[in-house]
């Protein structure tokens, strides 16, 4: 029995030791293989980009194995861990000098590499975050439609939906900016036009573009922006931000689209470039439709019954027709009722909502400056027509005109009579 117990104790002691030995051996073997791989890469490097990538790998290797320094020191005798890492840095520096590469180039590229990794990770996190918020916005929007029969209603509690919309709009814009920043950083690593790149550089950049899913991310970003527009009703602040974002996206794509397509052989990415162009046009069309849908909804919310419109000309014409009807009092309302309606319109629609909308519409070239001016002047005319006392002053003015005309008529008549009166005979004769 004692013999059995002794064997069990020995087994329990030896087993962990064997496991530890295997783990140590695997660590040493992995380090030695990594060193061999880095050494070979240094010997075959031909560009500053490759040297920068080797530098990044070398830094990552040092970070990974530093905690095993004591183990590696014993295994690498007569060398040790620090001399091995220093030797690799020295080999890389010699190779850079042989290729005519200055160290600052490698440092700059390595910094960009770190930035690229960080940007890629941030884009991934935003993709997940935006997907969740977009799903929430779509669900909340559907619930609002079921309750109101329309996209929005001031009588429906939609604070949660509004918060989600604002958060999603900001998230989509941030993701767009990160994608283009990532692309810029990728091209900055090579600091030259695609046509001037060596084959090895072109292939290296192409591999990174594919690895980070640049085309996929751009298409996904556009699709998410389309889904956002379809699921929501815009406020003026939303529209101003989206139009700015859209313009920025279009400008950046026009700059990097040809560069990305130029990386691929033949017409391999021609369809992807055409698809992005098509999605940009679709986004612009969706924003345009959402703009007029949102303004129509605004008027319905505020119970301002204007004939529906689908473009800038219709909006301008229908709104001015509505104001003309109020000025002419086509419904025969009392003066007090007309003034009360205008005051409510001014305080709840015109000043806080519609006037800022007009500025955004002009900026977006959806209405002309002249159309905005006509609308502004028409509002002033409406205010003058219903302002308390406006009709009294009209009556007073009319009375004054009649008095003046009457006085002139009397003066003219007297003068005419004086000319017609015969002269008296001369009494001196």
Q: What is Dmax (Cα atoms) for the chain?
A: 183
Whole-number percent of the chain with pLDDT over 70: 80
| Residue-level pLDDT at 400 | 61
Work out the average pLDDT over 233-239: 78
Question: Average per-residue pLDDT in the chain?
Answer: 81
| pLDDT tens-digit readout, 338-366 | 999 999 999 999 999 999 999 989 988 89
pTM of the model: 0.65
Q: Is the pLDDT of residue 390 over 60?
A: no
Cβ burial, residue 327 (10 Å; 0-12/13-18/19+): middle
Dig out the tokens for 111 from the structure.
């910094």
Q: CA 362 from chain center: how many Å?
A: 20
Q: Which residues of 65-91 are buried (b: 16+ CB within 10 A; e: fewer)?
A: beebeebbeebbeeebbeebbeebeeb
- Residue 158: band (very low, low, confident or very high) from pLDDT cuts 50, 70, 90: low
Least confidently predicted of 68-77, 107-116, 142-151, 173-182:
142-151
Q: Specify the DSSP element, H or E, that contains 91.
A: helix 81-98
Which has the closest alpha carbon to 57: 70, 72, 38? 38
- Residue 203: band (very low, low, confident or very high) from pLDDT cuts 50, 70, 90: confident
Least confidently predicted of 6-15, 121-130, 366-375, 379-388:
6-15
| Residue-level pLDDT at 111 | 82
Q: Which residue has the tokens 């031909």?
A: 46
| Residue-level pLDDT at 9 | 44
Whole-number percent of the chain with pLDDT over 90: 28
How is 180-194 classified by DSSP, letter by letter? HHHHHHHHHTTTS-G
| pLDDT tens-digit readout, 400-429 | 656 656 666 666 566 665 665 554 455 444
Q: Is the pLDDT of residue 290 over 70?
A: yes
Q: Quick check: 198 and 47 in contact, CB under 8 A?
A: yes
- Residue 98: band (very low, low, confident or very high) from pLDDT cuts 50, 70, 90: confident
User: Which residue would you say has higher pLDDT here, 298 or 402?
Assistant: 298
| pLDDT tens-digit readout, 301-333 | 888 999 999 999 999 999 999 999 999 988 888
Q: CA 396 from chain center: how many Å?
A: 57
| Residue-level pLDDT at 236 | 79
| Residue-level pLDDT at 392 | 44
Q: Quick check: 51 and 97 in contact, CB under 8 A?
A: no
Report CA torsion sign: 191, 195, 197, 199: positive
**Angstrom distance (rounded) from CA 50 to CA 96:** 10
Q: Which residues of 295-323 are buried (b: 16+ CB within 10 A; e: fewer)?
A: bbbbbbbbebebeebeebeebbeebbebb
**Angstrom distance (rounded) from CA 268 to CA 272:** 9
How is 128-179 classified by DSSP, letter by letter? HHHHHHHHHHHHHHHHHHHHHSSS--TTS--HHHHHHHHHHHHHHHHHHHHH
């Amino acid at each position: 029995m004692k013999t059995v117990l002794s064997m069990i104790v020995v087994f329990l002691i030896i087993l962990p030791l064997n496991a530890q030995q295997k783990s140590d051996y695997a660590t040493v073997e992995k380090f030695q293989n990594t060193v061999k791989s880095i050494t070979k890469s240094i010997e075959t490097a031909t560009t500053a980009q490759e040297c920068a990538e080797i530098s990044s790998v070398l830094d990552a290797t040092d970070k990974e194995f530093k905690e095993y320094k004591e183990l590696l020191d014993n295994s690498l005798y007569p060398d040790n861990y620090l001399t091995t890492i220093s030797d690799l840095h020295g080999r890389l520096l010699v190779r850079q000098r042989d290729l005519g590469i200055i160290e600052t180039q490698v440092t700059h590229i390595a910094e960009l590499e770190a930035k690229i990794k960080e940007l890629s990770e941030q884009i991934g996190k935003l993709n997940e975050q935006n997907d969740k918020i977009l799903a929430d916005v779509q669900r909340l929007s559907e619930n609002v439609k079921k309750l109101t029969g329309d996209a929005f209603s001031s009588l429906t509690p939609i604070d949660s939906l509004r918060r989600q919309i604002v958060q999603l709009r900001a998230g989509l814009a941030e993701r767009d900016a990160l994608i283009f920043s990532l692309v810029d950083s990728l091209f900055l690593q090579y600091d030259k036009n695609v046509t001037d790149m060596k084959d090895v550089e072109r292939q290296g950049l192409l591999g990174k573009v594919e690895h980070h899913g640049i085309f996929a991310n751009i298409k996904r970003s556009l699709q998410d922006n389309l889904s956002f527009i379809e699921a929501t009703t815009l406020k003026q602040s939303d529209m101003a931000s989206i139009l700015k974002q859209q313009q920025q996206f279009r400008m950046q794509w026009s700059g990097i689209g040809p560069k990305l397509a130029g990386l691929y052989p033949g017409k391999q990415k021609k369809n992807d470039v055409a698809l992005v162009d098509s999605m940009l046009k679709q986004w612009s069309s969706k924003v345009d439709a959402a703009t007029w849908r949102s303004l129509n909804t605004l008027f319905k919310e505020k119970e301002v019954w204007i004939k529906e419109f689908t473009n800038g000309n219709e909006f301008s014409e229908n709104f001015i027709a509505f104001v003309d009807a109020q000025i002419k009092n086509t419904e025969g309302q009392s003066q007090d009722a007309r003034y009360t309606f205008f005051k409510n319109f001014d305080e709840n629609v015109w000043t806080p909502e519609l006037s800022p909308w007009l500025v955004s519409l002009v900026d977006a070239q959806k209405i002309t400056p002249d159309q905005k001016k006509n609308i502004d002047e028409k509002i002033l005319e409406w205010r003058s027509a219903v302002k308390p006392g406006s009709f009294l002053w009209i009556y007073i003015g009319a009375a004054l005109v009649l008095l003046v005309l009457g006085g002139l008529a009397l003066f003219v008549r007297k003068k005419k009579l004086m000319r017609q009166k015969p002269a008296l005979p001369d009494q001196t004769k």
